[in-house]
A and B are shown apart, each in its own frame.
Chain A
Amino acid sequence: QVQLEESGGGVVQPGRSLKLTCEISGFTLMNHAMHWVRQAPGKGLEWVAILSYEGSHEKYADSVKGRFTISRDNYKNIVYLQMDGLRVEDTAVYHCAKDRNGVYYYGMEAWGQGTTVTVSS
């Protein structure tokens, strides 16, 4: 059974950092590209980042470029999202998701329930 479980969310002041973790089970992580997608309260889905199966291909939304970093450890079955310079507008539920493809986007076929990040002074 494919499972993705995010953790690491919380309340943080603007400008501070937070690192999210996505632990996976039920599939071979090294075969799939992985994403982070966020959803602000009452708003739609916003894609954040993608990292290819071996970690060589990474892309970011303009809204987080230069502040967020996606990484992975295929042996520990974990995907990370390092978030630096957090802003109020980064407040959202953050989901990690598994792509059907190993390098480029094709479709996010499994999602975690998400972890909530609140940026507030």
Chain B
Amino acid sequence: QSVLTQPLSASGAPGQRITLSCSGSSSNIGANSVSWYQQLPEAAPKLLICGNNERPSDVPDRFSGSKSGTSASLAISGLQSEDEADYYCAAWDDRLNGLVFGGGTKLTVL
């Protein structure tokens, strides 16, 4: 049981826009910024978003993050086949005094 809650799976057609959700509490998402990671099959995770909505320079602007209260979202526009991967949210938890991840959402591009 992960501290941050993500749907197990999501799917979309090429070109579509999809939003992945991440739900937490006042001690993690409510108090600290959220990051998002993409993990392609058999690969190490890659940072997509940090600081709720900051995108590293090597991440396409099709990816965007947002946060409201104790929930966060990752939006992917112009869905491509290479976006098929597992996506994880993460945030520091002040109560646990550690970093917590969501269980991950497996994104399928139809």
Chain A residues in contact with chain B, CB under 8 A?
A: 35, 37, 44-47, 50, 59-62, 95, 97, 100, 104-109, 111-114
Determine the distance from Cα of A47 to Cα of B102 in the docked complex, in whole angstroms: 11
B92 touches A104 (CB 8 A): yes
Tell me if B110 is interfacial: C-beta within 8 Å of chain A.
no
Tell me whether chain A's interface is mostly helix, strand or loop, or mixed: strand
Chain B residues in contact with chain A, CB under 8 A?
A: 2, 33, 35, 37, 39, 44-47, 49-51, 54, 56, 86, 88, 90, 92, 96-104
Q: How far is the CB of B109 from chain A (nearest CB, A)?
A: 20
Complex A-B: 10 CB contacts under 8 Å: A44-B2, A45-B45, A59-B98, A60-B98, A104-B92, A107-B51, A108-B45, A111-B46, A113-B44, A114-B44
A111 touches B44 (CB 8 A): yes
Q: How far is the CB of A67 from chain B (nearest CB, A)?
A: 15
Determine the distance from Cα of A104 to Cα of B33 in the docked complex, in whole angstroms: 12
A112 touches B88 (CB 8 A): no
- Of B33, B49, B100, which one neighbours A47 at CB under 8 angstroms? B100
- Of A47, A61, A112, which one neighbours B90 at CB under 8 angstroms? A47
